[in-house]
Amino acid sequence: MPDLQKEKIIEELHEKFSRVKGAVLSDFKGMDMPKINSLRKELREKSIEFRVVKNTLAKRAMEGTSFKVLDEYFKGPTSIALSYDDAIAPAKVLTEFARKEKTLKLKAGFAEGMKVEKEGLSDLASLPPREVLLAQILAVGKAPTQNFVGTLNAVLVDFVGVLNAVKDKKEQSA
């Protein structure tokens, strides 16, 4: 491959590694083309880019990016699933696919600037979607206020009940 073409690939990968939110590195050795194409289709449906690159080019491209934490995993046949929107999506898709297809070996992951070891990928994949997590956080934040308002309301209801009882007693004695 001519040097100019290699430099272009390195620049392109560097730009992608600079803005990636989530990624998973895997070893696809032993997978046949129909299975690889099936994986590519699943990833594409989730807006995840799937690339196979030379390890030396990838290592040069990750210089100066937070993706550098995955340097040690670029050995042997390596594919990269990159997501620019959802940090968890590549882990979800590839973990599920690796459960069905034993020849796909997950190496490591990357989520929001941090390395995720192979063992942590299934934990990452089991997280609920971002919207659900945000809703849970809001519910937890809202609960103390809601409880406080409920307590105040109960005090007012009790007070009104006592006033009505006093009123009723005065009406009976009059």
Percent of the chain with pLDDT over 90: 37
Helices 89-100 & 33-45 angle (0-180, nearest 10): 150
Mean pLDDT of the chain: 87
**3-class SS of residue 77:** coil
What is the pLDDT at residue 43? 92
For residues 26 and 98, the answer to whether their CB atoms sit within 8 Å is yes
What does the alpha-carbon distance between residue 80 and residue 91 come to, in Å, rounded to a whole number? 11
What residues are paired with 79 via a beta bridge? 26, 52
pLDDT in tens, 11-45: 999 999 999 999 999 998 888 889 989 999 999 99
What is the pLDDT at residue 139? 81
Instruction: Return the domain boundaries, the chain.
Output: 3-127, 128-174
The yes/no answer on whether domain 3-127 falls in CATH 3.30.70.1730 is yes
Token digits of residue 138: 């809001």
Q: How confident is the model at residue 1 (pLDDT cuts 50, 70, 90)?
A: low
Does pLDDT of 100 surpass 70?
yes
For residues 54 and 5, the answer to whether their CB atoms sit within 8 Å is no
What is the pLDDT at residue 169? 84
What is the pLDDT at residue 157? 82
pLDDT in tens, 116-149: 888 888 888 887 777 777 888 888 887 788 787 7
What does the alpha-carbon distance between residue 117 and residue 96 come to, in Å, rounded to a whole number? 16
Predicted TM-score of the model (pTM): 0.72
What phi and psi values does residue 77 have, to the nearest 5 degrees? -65, 120
